[in-house]
């Protein structure tokens, strides 16, 4: 038996968040290590060395004074960092090809849906209208990506490959092949002016909360061959001001939006976003979390740590991502 228990603190939801499924996966990839699902009344807190979590109850990890690392089972750590009692050990976030590939699929799917006017084609079909629509070239459309991290850079590369122009915005200065890069608040207006389809893949932090608001939408490029600018947000709901999105769609500041994340989740039935004719709503599963891929990633990180190697993708608590 490998020493040091791994505990799982997981709030269930969809199939992929079934705590039992994670328990089985971790038990199978952790080679003899004890894996326990919280709450576990039999557990001696002092034997716990590692925790793997998804939106744990605040305080769920506070008793583990021998903890060496916390593994967040998703890319976004905003919910975890909200827990003031979290032990002061490294937090590792998910950065795996499986999740990245799924997010890139989502971004490309929705950029293309707006670019190729899928809404209008569906309406025509419903009315049995045979009406070919003008097709702007991808090379005439600029996709602006807010957040040029693991997910943003991969999406940009694939969008470039299918012909779109890409611009990106991040905190630090970057050089990414084929992508015009902007950074910091002072370069945000120049980034927005160039952007026709805005894709948001930012983390939710005190700096980014409510960044997707009317003042920002009004700065988007209005020379798009698609007409008005389009928004795709798959970052976090707290990044957006939903009343501003609805108002901007209604007055033409925005032409359409795809939203995977919301201020309140599940999106309440009374939200006008559900039935807005210019909005595609998806239920926060732009990039599903696969227990098979992610349990292997966590087990590898534990092996690295125990071999004296540094953990990868460690969260900077001060920055909040
Ligand atoms: P990363 O940490 O790799 O990238 C975050 C990017 O955002 C970086 O480029 C960073 O800049 C930039 N950024 C952060 N704060 C600021 C700021 N204040 N100003 C400008 N740029 C900023 O994260 P990932 O790409 O892995 O994931 C991004 C987010 O996607 C997650 O935090 C999560 O919220 C969301 N997500 C959503 C999913 C879904 O299913 N809807 C699934 C997975 C993730 P820099 O590079 O300079 O540090
Ligand atoms: C997320 C994820 O951060 O699923 O939303 O990884």
Spacing, Cα 92 to ligand 2 middle (Å): 13
Residue nearest to atom 43 of ligand 1 (CA): 75
Q: Which ligand is nearest to the CA of 149?
A: 1
**Closest-lying ligand 2 atom to the alpha carbon of residue 289:** 4
Model pLDDT, residue 319: 97
Beta strands, E only, 107-229: 142-146, 165-170, 179-183, 197-200
- What is the CATH topology of the domain spanning 2-96+289-306? Rossmann fold (3.40.50)
Q: Which ligand is nearest to the CA of 103?
A: 1
Tell me, what DSSP letter sits at residue 46? G
**Closest-lying ligand 2 atom to the alpha carbon of residue 287:** 4
Beta strands, E only, the chain: 5-10, 35-37, 48-54, 69-72, 91-92, 142-146, 165-170, 179-183, 197-200, 230-233, 256-259, 279-281
State how far the Cα of 229 lies from the Cα of 198, in Å rounded to an integer: 7
The reply to whether domains 2-96+289-306 and 98-281 share a CATH topology is yes
Residue nearest to atom 29 of ligand 1 (CA): 203
Mutation test residue for ligand 1: of 151, 208, 261, the one with most atoms within 8 Å of CB: 151
In the chain, where are the structural domains located? 2-96+289-306, 98-281
Spacing, Cα 133 to ligand 2 middle (Å): 36
Model pLDDT, residue 108: 98
97 close to ligand 1 (CB < 6 Angstrom): no
* Residues whose beta carbon lies within 6 Å of some atom of ligand 2: 74-76, 94, 99, 287, 289
State how far the Cα of 187 lies from the Cα of 144, in Å rounded to an integer: 13
Model pLDDT, residue 2: 66
Query: Is the entire prediction scored with pTM above 0.85?
Result: yes
Tell me, what DSSP letter sits at residue 36? E
CA dihedral 233, 102, 163, 170 (to 10 degrees): 50
Q: Using DSSP, state whether 205 is helix, strand or coil.
A: coil
**Closest-lying ligand 2 atom to the alpha carbon of residue 288:** 4
**For residue range 180-195, what is the model confidence (pLDDT) as tens digits?**
999 999 999 999 999 9
Read off φ and ψ for residue 189, nearest 5 degrees: -60, -40
Terminal Cα-to-Cα distance of the chain (whole angstroms) = 34
Model pLDDT, residue 204: 98
Strand arrangement, sheet containing 35-37: 35-37, 5-10, 48-54, 69-72, 91-92
Q: Which of 196, 236, 264, 319 is catalytic?
A: 236
Active site residue 196: no
Q: How many CB atoms lie within 10 A of CB 163?
A: 12
Q: Which ligand is nearest to the CA of 184?
A: 1
Mutation test residue for ligand 1: of 147, 188, 317, the one with most atoms within 8 Å of CB: 147
State how far the Cα of 227 lies from the Cα of 109, in Å rounded to an integer: 19
Which residues, at least 6 apart from 134, have a Cβ–Cβ distance to it below 8 Å? none
**For residue range 46-89, what is the model confidence (pLDDT) as tens digits?**
999 999 999 999 999 999 999 999 999 999 999 999 999 999 99
Model pLDDT, residue 252: 98
Please give the C-alpha separations between residue 5 and each of 64, 80, 83, 289, 299, in angstroms, as whole numbers: 11, 20, 22, 23, 12
Tell me the β-bridge partners of 165: 142
Model pLDDT, residue 69: 98
Among 242, 223, 265, smallest CA distance to 231 is for: 242
Is 98-281 assigned to CATH 3.50.50.60? Answer: no
Model pLDDT, residue 12: 72
144 close to ligand 1 (CB < 6 Angstrom): no
State how far the Cα of 316 lies from the Cα of 305, in Å rounded to an integer: 18
Q: Which ligand is nearest to the CA of 78?
A: 1
Active site residue 21: no
Tell me, what DSSP letter sits at residue 314? B
Low-confidence ranges of the chain (pLDDT < 70): 1-2
Residue nearest to atom 2 of ligand 2 (CA): 74
């Amino acid at each position: 038996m490998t020493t040091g228990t791994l505990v799982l603190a997981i709030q269930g939801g969809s199939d992929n968040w079934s705590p039992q499924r994670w328990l089985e996966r971790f038990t199978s990839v952790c080679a003899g290590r004890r894996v326990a699902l919280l709450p576990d009344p039999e557990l001696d807190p002092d034997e716990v060395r590692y925790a793997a979590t998804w939106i744990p109850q605040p305080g769920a990890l506070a008793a583990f004074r021998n903890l060496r690392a916390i593994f967040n089972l998703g890319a976004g750590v905003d919910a975890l960092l909200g827990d003031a009692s979290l032990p002061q050990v490294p937090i590792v976030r998910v950065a795996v090809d499986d999740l990245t590939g799924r997010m890139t699929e989502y971004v490309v799917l929705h950029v293309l849906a707006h670019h190729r006017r899928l809404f209008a084609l569906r309406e025509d079909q419903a009315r049995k209208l045979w009406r070919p629509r003008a097709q702007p070239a991808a090379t005439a459309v600029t996709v602006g990506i807010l957040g040029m991290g693991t997910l943003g850079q991969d999406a940009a590369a694939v969008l470039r490959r299918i012909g779109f122009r890409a611009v990106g915005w991040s905190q630090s200065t970057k050089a990414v092949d084929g992508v015009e890069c902007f950074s910091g608040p002072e370069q945000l207006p120049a980034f927005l002016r160039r952007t026709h389809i805005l894709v948001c893949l930012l983390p939710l932090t005190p700096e980014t909360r409510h960044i997707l608001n009317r003042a920002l939408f009004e700065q988007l490029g209005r020379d798009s061959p698609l007409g008005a600018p389009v928004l795709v947000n798959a970052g976090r709901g707290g990044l957006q001001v939903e009343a501003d999105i609805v108002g901007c769609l209604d007055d033409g500041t925005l032409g359409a939006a795809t939203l995977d994340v919301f201020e309140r989740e599940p999106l309440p039935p009374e939200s006008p976003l559900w039935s807005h004719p210019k909005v595609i709503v998806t239920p926060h599963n732009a990039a599903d979390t696969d227990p098979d891929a992610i349990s292997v990633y966590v087990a590898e990180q534990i092996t690295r740590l125990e071999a004296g190697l540094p953990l990868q993708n460690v969260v900077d608590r001060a920055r909040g991502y």
